[in-house]
Amino acid sequence: MGLADNIARVQERIASACARVGRDTSEVTLVAVSKTFPAEAVAEAYRLGLRDFGENRVEEAAGKISDIKYQISNLTPDLRASEITWHLVGHLQSRKAREAVELFDVIHSVDSVKLANKLSRLCVETGRVMPILLECNVSGEETKYGFPIVNAAGLASWLGEVEAMAALPGVCVSGLMTVAPMTANPDEARPVFRALRELRDELAHRFPYADWGRLSMGMTDDFDVALEEGATMVRIGRAIFGERRQE
């Protein structure tokens, strides 16, 4: 199937998952993750109506984003690359923070107070306010990035850090993100997604002055379940662009 068919199928899955739990699809942002795919593929997805795109690595995005602007400008004068919202969905090293602030509109993967502080300082320097999501490891997997929030003790020790990050200038803590364990049965990821939603609800109760509206969870194999558990942002690569190219 072509790109248009892939996008239609993903949108159908989103609609079906939302219908099962009485949600409106307008609550959901589809982030098309274009890691390893060329600018031409992103420009075509844009022509087909997508506006939110995700990249995993700053270094790959740096060249690709400028190429995409050129590609889109050649499609038709009515299309403007400035309408794209760029999401950084992969791990961000502190040394790449300045470039990330220059390239992206939303950062999903803030996993330390040190990184949040650096992003805050850089955003203040450039006169912008950037939405950030706090990446949480609620599954306990040692290989996963994110703040380790797997029990009440972990939450209790983290609350002071959350309060400090929510007060930072230049960034706006806008919700949470997680990556569920890979599993053959998507329903096995449900407890992870539910745990993130419940964690978000707890933070919204404790820190009502912050914006906790975004829940970034769910990828190609499990986003249907993530939506049933409250995801507002799903990060979809393979189901839209096809099998990922070898890196």
Asked if the model's pLDDT at residue 77 lies above 60, the reply is no
Give the chain's domains with CATH numbers: 3-237 (3.20.20.10)
Residue 47 CB neighbour total at 10 angstroms: 15
Tell me which DSSP letter residue 207 carries.
Answer: -
Q: Name the pTM for this structure.
A: 0.93
Longest dimension (CA), the chain: 55
Asked if the model's pLDDT at residue 246 lies above 60, the reply is no
For 40-65, how does the pLDDT look when each residue is reduced to its tens digit (9 = 90+)? 999 899 989 999 999 999 999 988 88
For 87-104, how does the pLDDT look when each residue is reduced to its tens digit (9 = 90+)? 999 999 999 999 999 999
Asked if the model's pLDDT at residue 216 lies above 70, the reply is yes
CB distance 247 to 44 below 8 Å: no
Beta bridge partners of 33: 54
Distance CA 78, CA 127 (A): 29
> Using H for helix, E for strand and C for coil, what is the string for 134-201?
EEEECCCCCCCCCEECCCHHHHHHHHHHHHHHHCCCCEEEEEEECCCCCCCCHHHHHHHHHHHHHHHH
Distance CA 204, CA 220 (A): 28
Locate all alpha helices (DSSP H) within the chain, ordered by sequence: 3-20, 39-47, 58-75, 97-103, 113-126, 152-166, 190-206, 223-228, 238-241
For 137-152, how does the pLDDT look when each residue is reduced to its tens digit (9 = 90+)? 998 888 889 999 988 8
Tell me which DSSP letter residue 213 carries.
Answer: -
Asked if the model's pLDDT at residue 80 lies above 70, the reply is no
CB distance 130 to 123 below 8 Å: yes
More confident residue, 76 or 51: 51
